[in-house]
């Protein structure tokens, strides 16, 4: 008998991550087997919502050991622990090739839509959510039907997200990361680095889930390091 979904969700939350929905695998997904001879039946997505999981990361050994990529290493460790506990297999967005289509998977698992910024918007969390990985199960869990819903951006006439960036790093269908990076490097430490992305903050959906100041500082610093690494490469 398959385990109840509620017990799986509880284990994910106890580990320090958020359950982000799931879906049943199709033959066209070309997913790897969970184990030799055991095909993937259920895919569960896990990640972070707002600042709810931030304290678990901020107090982790990865966050304080001074080694690079602490968030990725933390997420990797938790995914591996969950996979072992569930007799499952873990996949991560950044661990490729192959590069798994996490954005498409997310839209199958939750009522997400593409925002004018190009980011996936959630009807409750807005733009304040992320995915750390997927857990592949050989069991076919009983999953609730994905709740339908129109994009909240459809009825948003003013599109404040597109006008919230002071350097127009976002234009419809286009993102200019170097504009953002240059502006952040010139901004005072008490400004954008404390509050986070102005374009995302301008969105009225999910404002209660916006990042805390230390969370915003962490992600903006990581973004600047990634731009430096990409430009050097």
What is the domain partition of the chain in residue ranges?
5-137, 160-232
**Residue 228 confidence (pLDDT):** 85
The per-residue pLDDT for 132 is 97
Question: 189 vs 48, 194, 202, 221, 224, CA distance in Å?
Answer: 25, 7, 20, 11, 14
What is the mean pLDDT for each group of 10 consecutive residues in the chain (233 residues)? 87 97 95 95 98 97 96 97 96 91 96 95 97 97 88 94 91 88 76 75 96 92 88 73
Confidence at residue 32, expressed as pLDDT on a 0 to 100 scale: 95
CA distances from 52 to 31, 104, 128, 133, 206 (A): 30, 24, 11, 17, 13
Q: Got the DSSP string for 123-134? A: TTTBT-EEEEEE
Instruction: Count CB neighbours of 92 within 10 A.
Output: 17
pLDDT of residue 1: 52
Predicted local distance difference test score (pLDDT) of residue 193: 57
pLDDT of res. 191: 55
Quote the tokens at residue 208.
């209660």
Q: What is the DSSP string of 201-216?
A: HH--TTGGGPPPHHHH
What DSSP state is assigned to residue 27?
A: G
pTM for the model stands at 0.93
What pLDDT sits at residue 151?
A: 94
pLDDT value at position 99? 94
Q: Return the exposure string of 212-223: e unless at least 16 CB atoms fall within 10 Å of the residue's CB, then b.
A: eeebbbbbbeee
């Amino acid at each position: 008998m398959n385990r109840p979904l509620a017990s799986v969700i509880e284990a994910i939350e106890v580990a320090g991550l958020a359950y982000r929905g799931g879906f049943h695998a199709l033959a066209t997904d070309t997913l790897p087997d969970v184990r030799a001879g055991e095909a993937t039946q259920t895919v569960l997505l896990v990640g972070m919502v707002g600042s709810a999981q931030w304290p678990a990361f901020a107090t982790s050994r990865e966050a304080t050991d001074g080694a690079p990529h602490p968030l990725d290493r933390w997420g990797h460790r938790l995914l591996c622990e969950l996979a072992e506990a569930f007799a499952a297999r873990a996949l991560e967005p950044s661990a490729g090739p192959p590069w798994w289509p996490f954005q498409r998977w997310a839209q199958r698992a939750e009522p997400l839509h593409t925002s004018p910024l190009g980011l996936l918007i959630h009807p409750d969390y807005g733009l304040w959510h992320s995915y750390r990985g997927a857990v592949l199960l050989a069991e076919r869990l009983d999953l609730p039907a994905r709740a339908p819903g129109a994009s909240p951006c459809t009825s948003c006439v003013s599109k404040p997200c597109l006008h919230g960036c002071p350097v127009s790093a976002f234009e419809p269908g286009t993102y200019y990361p170097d504009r953002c990076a240059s502006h952040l490097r010139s901004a005072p430490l008490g400004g954008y680095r404390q509050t986070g992305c102005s374009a995302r903050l301008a969105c009225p959906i999910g404002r209660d889930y916006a990042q805390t100041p230390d969370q915003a500082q962490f992600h903006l610093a990581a973004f600047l390091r990634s731009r430096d690494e990409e430009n050097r490469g």
